[in-house]
Structure 1
Amino acid sequence: MRAGLAAALALAGLLATAACRSDADRADPDDRAPSAAPSTPAAARLELEYLGSTTIPRSSDFQGTAVGGLSGISFDREHDRYYVISDDRSERSPARFYTAAITIGPTGSVRARLTGTKPLLRRDGSVYPPLSYGYAPPDPEGIAVDPRSGNLYWVDEGERSDVLANPAVRVATPGGARVRELPIPKSLRIAPGRGPRRNQALEGVTFTPDGRQLYVAMEDPLLQDGPNPTARAGALTRVTRYTGDAPDAQYAYPLEPLFLAPREADRSATNGLSDLVALGGGRFLTIERAAVPDRFRIKVRIYLADANGATNVLSRSLGGAVPMRKTLLLDLDDTRGHVDNVEGVTLGPDLPDGRKSVVLVTDDNFNWIQQTQVIALALSGA
């Protein structure tokens, strides 16, 4: 995560929720431009309800690692466990993921605890070392369990600074051993004036329920696709589909405008697609997380997105493309609980009343002001 956004989220976590809402009420109406994205009729049958949340305690020595930066989550239905990935770039501990046990009580109570951790390993079986001259460790941002093989697919944002490293989609065993790396589309590769912005690359990853297709999502637009969202205009980012190990389709995803205008020009004020989870039939729950640093505000919204009818932009520009449709299901400002920096989403086990559980995880940026939250929602009509 870029430094400006991390600072904004940390400051936002320190402010009272009521004060944040009153600031939004006083905003200039022009600061909150509506989305131009067409809605999907299927949303009429879906509802999301906030159930509750808990925190995972901060620890500087959980099985030899520093706990924090949890940026992606995936439920392993076969083994009834969750995988959670840290975006620590081997700075505090080698790049890694955790396993967790999460339970949702009948009254909406949530319990969560880490049960183990494994490092992500390189081809030679070694751990990823810290940043050094000419070398950039991975920036893990999302994780998904293959429901057929049990392997873990994880995305790396890459690096665009003094060191250049393309974003990556990698496969590991449940023990962390490297299996392979998938090819990425040419559009996602770093080149002069093209490719992803720094720390705004691959952020989300999900399998379809049958495991036949994998989707990976860019957080924000590619350089060639235009500027990031502002308070007056949204933007288009890209979601790529893999069938087998090859990318075979890509869709434009419409990001909302910023919910609030910065007081001053600030490149770190933006809205991005922080994760997604496939529901099947070309539909997804998507997480849009926005921050306006100089207003000390963040906003997290969950949408139903639909790729049916969208233009395949795998080998073309976004000009004239029909984007994915989407409909707002839940603005987390409207829930009764304080919500921090949500970066991961997964479908959990079915609830006793037949609804599907949706589990979110927040990234605390290794900042004492913030928390690692586990948030439970209930999805009906899916």
Structure 2
Amino acid sequence: MSIVVRIFLLIKGLTIVISCGNINEAKQNDTGIRLHFVDEYILTDETSFANTRVGGLSGIDYANGDWFAISDDSESPRFYKANVSYDLKGFDTIQVTAVTHFKDENGNNLPKGIVDPESIRFDNGAFIWTSEGNIKDGLKPFVQIADSTGAFIKEINLANRYLPNDNTDLGPRHNSVFEGISLSFDKKGYWVTMELPLKEDGEEPTIAETESPVRIAYINKETGRFEKEIAYELDNVTRPAINGSTFELNGVVEILEYDTNRFFVLERSYSMGYNDGGNTVKIYDVDATKATDVSSINSLKIADYTKVTKRLVFNFENIRKDLTNGIVDNIEGITFGSNFKNGNRSLLVVADNNFSLYGPQLNQFILFEVVN
């Protein structure tokens, strides 16, 4: 049986023009892309389907009329299929219609505690998905391909720089590895992004100015190998942690290539101690046309190279007052959906509610109209 939950906002239709600090900066966005906020939809925290709790939605994708969302439940790695109904007036319903559990090479459901699912994309009947692993426990991250039943097809070969190791100055940081993935615009490969810099590449962002480049890598679909890598510079942490808390971070949580070497990048800053969720989320328009291929560079700290350029398209602070309880939650997924009747593309983002383990959070979906 499908789960149907309806929650409607009274305030809709707020148009947000590119926010780059001032009018002159906004005019510099040569794509002319704007995002028009349409609506928000909440799946209640109690939503369940087929003996699973619907939550931890860390990635979302749309293909052939169907929606797919991955759950980052390490005890039961899985993804959901859903129907999502909306128009320019807003959401109608979100119906969860199926759940699929990921399987190992022997056809068994993946055991608990060995993966940390983060992102998923549909690709011609199969699914490519990422896990951050568990760096502290020596569990490697990965990029895998599964069929429509969740059965293992293959795993992508990783460069050593992405694997856990005993060197405190090299390799990935815990919980900061393959956070996002996108099909390439030409459908010949995939782009996968780190959330934070490798230790040898840069520092974790703070309130103060830092050099914090993350690697976005291209995977050749035919060979199954990492090839080109480009560098994306993170913003500073937006707000200091408060009320006795010290935890702060800022990282890339998802990417979406919408044209050759052009991406939407979701960047999220989080600081503990705030009643509004502590998240500052932005969507950047990224141009990698002139970016250096850094795949042969072992450390970005000492290298001379050109990073991608980024322009702010949307800051969720502009719609905070229109969202449930003024909360911009832990947004981690982004995808295009079906076109609206006026021909414009739809864009949907989803928040990972962490199963409300750290306090009440939202299974939050936010809908935009893409206007060129």
When normalised by structure 2's length, the TM-score is 0.84
Could you tell me which residue of structure 1 aligns to residue 282 of structure 2?
Answer: 301
Question: Does the 8 Å contact 1:40/1:326 carry over to 2?
Answer: no
Shift of 1:207: 0.3
Query: 1:117-136 residue pairs with structure 2 within 5 A?
Result: 117-131=99-113
1:196 matched to which residue of 2? Answer: 172
Cα shift at 1:210? 3.4
1:264–1:225 CA distance, 2 compared to 1 (3 A): farther
Whole-angstrom distance in 1 between the partners of 2:213 and 2:346 = 29
Summarize the Cα distance change of 1:243–1:56 in structure 2 as closer, same or farther, 3 Å threshold. Answer: same
- Summarize the Cα distance change of 1:106–1:247 in structure 2 as closer, same or farther, 3 Å threshold: same
- Is the contact between residue 268 and residue 293 of structure 1 (CA under 8 Å) also seen in structure 2? yes
Equivalent-residue separation in structure 1 for 2:268 and 2:308 (angstroms): 18
- Mapping 1:1-382, distance limit 5 Å: 42-59=29-46, 61-76=48-63, 78=64, 80-90=65-75, 94-131=76-113, 137-146=114-123, 149-161=124-136, 163-191=137-165, 192-193=167-168, 194-234=170-210, 235-244=212-221, 245-262=224-241, 268-295=247-274, 297-316=278-297, 317-318=299-300, 319-335=303-319, 336-337=322-323, 338=326, 339-367=328-356, 369-381=360-372
| SS of residue matched to 1:239 | strand
* Secondary structure class of the residue paired with 2:161: helix
Q: Deviations over 1:320-360 (max 9, x none)?
A: 22111100001011013243110100111111112111111
Deviations 1:127-169 (A, max 9, x none): 11223xxxxx1100000111xx2210000001122x2122100
Letter in 1 for 2:134: E
Instruction: For 2:227, give the aligned amino acid.
Output: D
Residue identity in the other structure for 2:335: T
Rounded to whole Å, the distance in 2 between the matches of 1:236 and 1:140 is: 23
Q: CA deviation at 1:233?
A: 1.7
Superposition deviation, residue 42 in structure 1: 4.8
- When residues 39 and 251 of structure 1 are mapped into structure 2, their CA distance, relative to the original with a 3 A threshold, is farther
| Counterpart-to-counterpart distance in 1, 2:236 and 2:92 | 32
Structure 1 gaps, min length 5: 1-33, 132-136
Query: How far apart are the structure 2 equivalents of 1:267 and 1:173?
Result: 42
Distance in 1, matches of 2:34 and 2:92, equals 20
Aligned equivalents of 1:130, 1:98: Cα separation in 2: 18
Partner of 1:169: helix, strand, or coil?
Answer: strand
RMSD: 2.1
CA-CA distance at 1:186 after TM superposition: 2.6
Aligned in 2, Cα 1:39/1:226: closer, same or farther, shift over 3 Å?
Answer: farther
Distance 1:102 1:83 in 2: 10
Displacement of 1:44 after TM fit? 4.7
State the secondary structure of the residue aligned to 1:103: strand
Deviations 1:200-220 (A, max 9, x none): 111001102431120001111
- What do the CA deviations read for 1:290-337 (whole angstroms, capped 9, x no partner)? 111145521111110111110111121222221111000010110132
Q: How far apart, in 2, do the equivalents of 1:327 and 1:250 lie?
A: 20
* Counterpart residue type for residue 340 of structure 2: L
Aligned residues: 332
Using a 3 Å threshold, how does the CA distance of structure 1 residues 167 and 267 change in structure 2: closer, same or farther? farther
Task: Structure 2: state its 5+ residue gaps.
Answer: 1-20
- Residue 18 of structure 1: aligned partner: none
Measured in 2, the distance between the counterparts of 1:334 and 1:60 equals 29
**Structure 1 residues 265 and 198: CA distance shift in structure 2, 3 A:** farther
- Cα distance, 1:303–1:87 mapped onto 2, change above 3 Å: same
Q: For residues 90-122 of structure 1, what are the alpha-carbon distances to aligned partners after superposition, in whole Å with 9 as ceiling and x for unaligned? A: 1xxx21100011122231335312111010000
TM-score, normalization: structure 1?
Answer: 0.82
CA distance in structure 2 between the aligned counterparts of 1:59 and 1:81, rounded to whole angstroms: 23
